[in-house]
Amino acid sequence: MKNMSSLLLYLPLLIISWAIESPVVAQQTFFAIPPKSPIPVKPKQVRCRSLLFPLCFGQWHNCPAECSNDCQMDCVSCKPVCSCNNPGALCQDPRFVGGDGVTFYFHGRKDQDFCLLSDSNLHINGHFIGKRNPKLTRDFTWVQSIGVLFDDHKLLVGAKKTSTWDDNEEHLFISFDNTPLSLGGNNWNYRNSSLVITRTSPNNGIAIEVQNSFKITATVVPIGPEESRIHGYDITNDDCFAHLDLRFKFYSLSDAVDGVLGQTYRRNYVSKIKVSANMPVMGNIPKYSTSGIFATDCVVSRFAPRNGIPVIETGDVF
């Protein structure tokens, strides 16, 4: 009886102690539950569209993890490859991968044009857009359009200026021999003699090929908020600096080819780029400067049009 009285005496204290400690126990139990895993981002899928590779044609493949939203299908190996890591690539702030496999940067200057490649029957200029960073002595630049001269033809490919990016909108602009081409849907294509242009995506992606001469894969991409934050681009809402990511293949270049990218395809080319640098840069900007998107007056020009008349017009930049 005495023991029962003692228990009743201490019972209120036990209840109070349990009330104080129980939230702590519950809190410890709550944190013991492992957090949910983030929902994985579905990678972009690509496929081989060339009938020349029947064993690979039409097969869908996921982009590699390191470039989950930006890869191309290599029909020869039947594997997807990152678009900006192969010889002939031109991406980002302009980051080049030369024909010799060496990666380098060429910043140029904003609102100016530069000779990317010049050979006797092919000439490619790039129009650079950009922003000035007061903390640096150079501009942040991107390639907004390219002007391609081959035979007696002129091809212009570029990204339209836009403030807010929308994947479902078309930001590409193409003209051939001064005539704008009206881009259609996913199955749109254009043929004119040896020139073939096809879609690589429903919007903002095309492949351009001239038989026995070159192939260019072009994709319009914006500068996103996270990319702007990481690199300090300070991109505002009035312009997302839509630009081109490019991949070049050349089939019949001579050993006289020149230009920022073109020279790296010469068999005797020896790179002067300091590859050990954090950002290996190709300098000598005036050497590659030209007066317009279709002009062939750069110092390194090798282009010889069939009619023998040098091209000095500036063309249109949009």
Tens-binned pLDDT, residue by residue, of the chain (318 aa): 545 555 454 555 444 444 434 443 334 433 444 444 444 557 788 899 888 889 999 999 998 876 766 777 888 889 888 778 889 999 988 899 999 999 999 989 999 999 999 999 999 999 999 887 777 777 889 999 999 999 999 999 999 999 888 988 999 999 999 999 998 877 789 999 889 999 988 899 999 999 999 999 999 999 877 777 777 777 777 788 899 999 999 999 999 999 999 999 999 998 888 877 778 899 889 999 999 999 999 999 999 876 555 555 544 555
- Rounded to two decimals, the pTM is 0.76
In this structure, are residues 130 and 221 in contact, taking their beta carbons and an 8 Å threshold? no
Place of tokens 């930049």: 317
Quick count: other Cβ atoms within 10 Å of Cβ 274?
11
The backbone region for 49, taken as left when phi is positive above 0, alpha when psi lies in -120 to 50, beta otherwise, is alpha
Q: Which amino acid is at 150?
A: F
In this structure, are residues 43 and 68 in contact, taking their beta carbons and an 8 Å threshold? yes
Q: Which among 67, 52, 43, 58 has a CA at the least distance from the CA of 215?
A: 52
* Distant-in-sequence, close-in-space partners of 157: CB < 8 Å, separation ≥ 6: 145, 146, 148, 172, 173, 174, 206, 208, 216, 218, 244
* Collapsed DSSP state (helix, strand, coil) of residue 10: helix
Distance from C-alpha of 222 to C-alpha of 224, rounded to nearest angstrom: 6
Q: Kindly state the helix (H) or strand (E) to which residue 7 belongs, with its residue range.
A: helix 2-31
Place of tokens 């990204």: 159
